[in-house]
Amino acid sequence: MRPTPEMPAPRRVTHVAPAWPPGTTGTVRLRVNLVIDAEGRVAEARITTPTATLPRDPSEIAAVLTAVRQWRFESPAQAPLLLTTYVGTSDDDGIVVPSGRARPPLRVGGVVGPPTKIIHVPPRYPAEAQAAGVSGVVILEITVNPDGAVVNAKPVRSVAGLDEAAIASVLQWRYAPTWLNGEPVSVMLTVTVNFQP
């Protein structure tokens, strides 16, 4: 079973980065299918990257599999659950690249539907702005990563004194992952945050 909007992917709670073998250079990016059991453990991990693009050094593949088998997730609503992710290196620091990070986020619209918000944190109305009678609607462009976390927010329509509170609120929101062609993807969309006395 794969995640759906009604049954989103469970949140990863333990992350282990690959221990890259000495001599690993350039960019390694592998697609990995994970089977998550009822306790949120990785019951199976399989590399699904096309053979033509696999690294030549099999120890790099082993490093990825060893790492992801130690990942832990919140218990899924139904198990076993099949997830797809990407694990790799960056050119400069060798950190793990979560699923979708290596590709630009897709703008919501057309075949990419808006994600479903599953956690909403209301904004804290700044006391100074409230005392000064400042109110209005802040419009933000946000990026939601493949796990459903908001990882970036920038004002499209700003209200002086309220932008920081809007951003602080939205960065705590969480969405169900957006799936495209069987894989979770990063998406960009605009949201509004309303401040009224």
- Of the given ranges (5-9, 106-110, 174-178), which has the lowest mean pLDDT? 5-9
The average pLDDT across 37-53 equals: 87
Q: Are residues 68 and 25 in the same domain?
A: yes
- Of the given ranges (17-26, 94-103, 159-168), which has the lowest mean pLDDT? 94-103
Determine what percent of the chain is predicted with pLDDT higher than 70. Answer: 86
Q: Are residues 110 and 191 in the same domain?
A: yes
For position 48, what pLDDT does the model report? 84
CATH of the domain at 82: 3.30.2420
Last residue of a domain, one of 26, 57, 88: 88
pLDDT-based confidence at 159, cuts 50/70/90? Answer: very high
Last residue of a domain, one of 56, 88, 120: 88
Query: Number of folded domains in the chain?
Result: 2
Q: Are residues 185 and 138 in the same domain?
A: yes
Query: Helix/strand/coil (H, E, C) string of the chain?
Result: CCCCCCCCCCCEEECCCCCCCCCCCCCCEEEEEEEECCCCEEEEEEECCCHHHCCCCHHHHHHHHHHHCCCEECCCCCCCEEEEEEEECCCCCCCCCCCCCCCCCEECECCECCCCEEECCCCCCCHHHHHCCCCEEEEEEEEECCCCEEEEEEEEECCCCCHHHHHHHHCCCEECCEEECCEEECEEEEEEEEECC
The average pLDDT across 90-117 equals: 62
Q: Are residues 80 and 111 in the same domain?
A: no
pLDDT higher than threshold 60 for residue 102: no
- What is the pTM for the complete model shown? 0.51
pLDDT-based confidence at 161, cuts 50/70/90? Answer: very high
Last residue of a domain, one of 27, 58, 88: 88
